[in-house]
Every structure is written in structure tokens, then in C-alpha cells.
């Protein structure tokens, strides 16, 4: 009953060759070719393995025609006048997972009789950038300039956003699959605007020094009530993206102060360290601000960014703390909501494990680590 055309479609959709899929099942490549031409059929077990390797629901293999797949969120990524290619299955699956968690959280909030968050959609892209920046600061409880930069700045901003009711999720892989790494060249983040459960997702496959800008960019989306997938690139030409970039820039490095301290007669790279220390941000954020204000070329900034990204990828670090990574992926607010339902007996460990991406046996340990 399996449709051979769906086997070919799913393999190509996953970006796999016949040889790669054959090796992963494993069978001979000639057998995969025979399955796709309809000359023979896989066993039930082999069909299940195929669906798993191709990252599709098993039932898809029985469809008459491939399903129409569309991004669940507006695609705001542009490069000049060009739009990006179709979304990868990694991006699609990541968005679907986030929306599944948000849907559960909305049901949870409905039972708690929570009220709508007043800051969601409070402004539009026609409003003054300074007003949006000031309101984000007020709601997050973070004033400028922050005395500590780097990771501490990020922690304070995420904590402030979560305390305000925003789910901040961060991951560099699809779900818990370490073999499916997200491509920062495809997207750096996305925002899901909702009056009760807004979500911000940060692709942490990006260099750590670039994530701060992406976080503020996505928060700006929430403040103007516009969902969307972003590349947070200086080349973004859409009005919404240009506005959110400007909000992020002004939030991190106020224009008036930056113009006062920028020295046009001095080589721009030589100024980065001093200015980064002055504004308590990374050198990359300073370079980005200089690019957005026209002080350095876009090509110069992109070259600097790529060097920073390469340096991050070249680092040989450990795998990190599993529970900290899981908490960042799920958002602390979401995690605590799921765990509270488990501890009250209203949610099974099995269901909680699915929502949190951890084994059911580890849910209680996860709860202990989350409270630390």
C-alpha cells in the first residue's frame, strides 16, 4: 500500500541520496531504487525506518500525493530584493515543535484564568523607535547601560522576558536530535506574537556574541505584534525587519552616544574593543551598529561576523550541562508549567517527557535542576 512516489519525495525532501538512505536502514542501494520504482516493497519494519530517516510521519508514505507544506509563520527573511529558498525540514520541524508547546501552554493558561499581556502589539513599525526601546526596557526591568555585559546581559534579558510572560526558547538542534543541527545561514530566530503566550526562539547555532542582537530583534516583533522568521541581517529590506533591527541597535547601543564616541579618523577595527567595553556589549554588536549607521560597509561587517562565527565553531568545548540545555530549549516558564502539572498529578510523566524532550525517568531530576 506504500506509494513509491512518496518514498522518492520524502528522501529528496530530507536531502538524502539513495546510497545514504540505504546505508542508514541498512539495505543495498539497489533495493532502495527498486522501492522507489515500485518493483518491490519494503517490509513494515523497513518502511518505519524509512519514515524515521526521512523525518516524516509514517502515514505520509501511504498518501496519493505529497502534502502541501507551508511555513506556519510569515517568512520575513530577505537578502536585498531576493527571497530565500524554501524552508528546510529542520526549520519546519523546529517551528512545529515550538507551536505545539505554545498550544499546550495556552491550554494551561486558560485553566489559570490569566489575563492578556498588555505590551504585545502595543506599538507598530510606524512608531518612534525610542518609544519601543523604552517600553521594552521598562517591561523587562533592564536599564542602560548595564554594568555587566556578555552572558550576564543575556541572562538578565531572558529572565526579564520570561518574568513578563514571554517564552524564550533557545536551541541549535531540532528537538533533541544532535544530528540535526540548525543552519544559522537559514534563520537566526523567529517570534510568535500572541496576547497570552508570546514566544521568542533563538538559533544558538549562531555565535554567542550575535545572539544578543537577535534576542532584542525578536522581542521587538512581539512589541509590534508581528510574528515572523528572521535572519536579523543588515541586508533585510522588509519594513518590519528594518524596524526590528533598528530597535535592537538602539536598545544595545543608543545612536546619540555612539555617534559621540565613534572616531571617523581612526580605523574602525581598532575602536571595537574600547567601544564594546563602553557599551557593555560584544565587538560584533559594535560592528553591527556601525554598519547600520553607515560608518562601515556591509561587506566589512559580514566579513567580521563570519570570522566571529568561524572562531565559535572552531572552539572545542564539551557537550555542556544536559539539564541547562533542556531548560534553555524549553524556556524556564514553560518548563515550570509542565512540571507543576506533573507534580499535581494532572499530567503523566510520559506526556511531560514528550513536551520537554527528556526521558520520562529524568523528568523529576529535571524538576530539581529547574528549581536551582
Distance CA 41, CA 43 (A): 7
User: Edge-to-edge strand order for the sheet containing 228-230?
Assistant: 167-171, 199-203, 189-192, 228-230
Percent of the chain past pLDDT 90, that is, above it, reads: 59
Separation of alpha carbons 222 and 248, rounded Å: 13
Q: What average pLDDT score do residues 223-243 get? A: 86
Name which residue leads in pLDDT, 135 or 85: 135
Q: DSSP string covering 168-199, please?
A: EEEESEETTEEEEE--TTT-SEEEE--SS--E
Q: How far apart are CA 119 and CA 318, in angstroms?
A: 39
Residues 186-204, mean pLDDT to the nearest whole number:
95
Buried-state track 149-166, b at ≥16 Cβ within 10 A, e below 16: beeebbeebbebbbebbb
Q: Are 326 and 358 in contact, with CB atoms under 8 Å apart?
A: yes
- pLDDT tier at 81, thresholds 50, 70, 90: very low
369: confidence class by pLDDT, cuts 50, 70, 90: confident
Mean pLDDT on 294-300 = 93
Retrieve residue 108's grid coordinates. Answer: 494551561
**Whole-structure pTM value:** 0.84
Residues 151, 16: Cα–Cα separation, whole Å = 38
pLDDT in tens, 144-186: 656 666 678 889 999 999 999 999 999 999 888 888 889 888 8
Separation between Cα atoms, residue 11 and residue 34, nearest integer Å: 14
Q: Radius of gyration of the chain from Cα atoms?
A: 23
Q: What is the mean pLDDT of residues 319-330?
A: 75
Determine the Cα–Cα distance for residues 114 and 314; give it in Å rounded to an integer.
Answer: 45
List of residues 6+ apart from 160 with CB closer than 8 A: 139, 140, 141, 142
pLDDT at 46 over 50: yes
Of the two residues 175 and 300, the one the predictor is more confident about is 300
Indicate if the pLDDT at residue 80 is higher than 50.
Answer: no
79-83, 110-114, 275-279, range with the lowest pLDDT: 79-83
Could you tell me the three cell numbers for 124?
507598530
Between CA 189 and CA 137 the distance in angstroms is: 20
Q: Helix, strand, or coil here: 121?
A: coil
CA distance 99 to 105: 10
What pLDDT, on the 0 to 100 scale, is given for residue 372?
Answer: 61
| pLDDT, tens digit (0-9, with 9 covering 90-100), for 246-264 | 999 999 999 999 999 999 9
Amino acid at each position: 500500500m506504500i506509494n513509491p512516489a512518496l518514498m522518492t519525495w520524502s528522501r529528496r525532501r530530507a536531502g538524502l541520496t539513495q546510497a545514504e538512505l540505504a546505508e542508514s536502514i541498512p539495505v543495498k542501494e539497489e533495493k532502495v531504487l527498486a522501492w522507489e520504482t515500485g518493483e518491490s516493497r519494503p517490509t513494515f519494519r523497513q518502511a518505519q525506518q524509512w519514515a524515521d530517516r526521512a523525518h516524516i510521519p509514517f502515514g505520509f508514505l501511504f498518501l496519493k500525493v505529497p502534502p502541501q507544506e507551508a511555513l506556519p509563520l510569515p517568512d520575513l527573511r530577505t537578502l536585498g530584493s531576493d527571497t530565500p529558498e524554501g524552508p528546510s525540514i529542520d526549520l519546519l520541524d523546529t517551528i512545529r515543535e515550538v507551536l505545539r508547546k505554545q498550544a499546550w501552554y495556552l491550554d494551561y493558561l486558560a485553566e489559570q484564568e490569566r489575563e492578556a499581556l498588555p505590551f504585545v502589539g502595543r506599538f507598530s513599525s510606524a512608531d518612534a523607535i525610542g518609544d519601543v526601546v523604552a517600553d521594552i526596557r521598562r517591561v523587562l526591568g533592564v536599564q542602560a547601560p548595564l554594568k555587566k555585559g556578555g552572558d550576564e546581559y543575556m541572562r538578565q534579558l531572558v529572565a526579564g522576558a520570561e518574568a513578563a510572560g514571554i517564552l524564550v526558547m533557545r536551541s541549535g538542534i531540532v528537538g533533541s536530535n544532535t544530528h540535526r543541527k540548525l543552519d544559522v545561514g537559514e534563520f537566526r530566530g523567529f517570534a510568535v506574537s500572541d496576547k497570552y503566550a508570546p514566544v521568542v526562539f533563538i538559533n544558538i547555532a549562531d555565535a554567542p556574541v550575535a545572539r544578543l542582537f537577535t534576542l532584542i530583534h525578536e522581542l521587538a516583533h512581539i512589541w509590534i505584534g508581528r510574528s515572523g522568521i528572521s535572519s536579523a541581517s543588515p541586508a533585510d529590506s522588509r519594513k518590519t525587519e528594518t524596524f526590528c533591527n533598528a530597535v535592537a541597535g538602539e536598545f544595545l547601543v543608543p545612536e546619540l552616544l555612539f555617534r559621540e564616541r565613534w572616531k571617523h579618523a581612526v580605523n574602525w577595527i581598532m575602536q571595537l574593543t574600547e567601544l564594546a567595553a563602553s557599551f557593555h556589549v560584544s565587538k560584533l554588536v559594535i560592528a553591527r551598529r556601525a554598519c547600520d549607521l553607515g560608518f562601515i560597509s556591509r561587506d566589512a561587517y559580514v566579513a567580521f561576523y563570519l570570522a566571529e562565527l568561524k572562531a565559535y565553531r572552531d572552539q572545542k568545548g564539551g557537550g555542556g550541562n544536559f539539564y541547562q540545555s533542556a531548560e534553555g530549549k524549553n524556556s524556564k516558564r514553560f518548563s515550570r508549567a509542565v512540571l507543576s502539572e506533573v507534580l499535581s498529578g494532572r499530567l503523566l510523566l510520559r506526556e511531560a517527557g514528550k513536551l520537554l524532550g527528556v526521558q520520562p525517568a529524568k523528568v523529576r531530576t529535571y524538576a530539581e535542576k529547574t528549581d536551582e
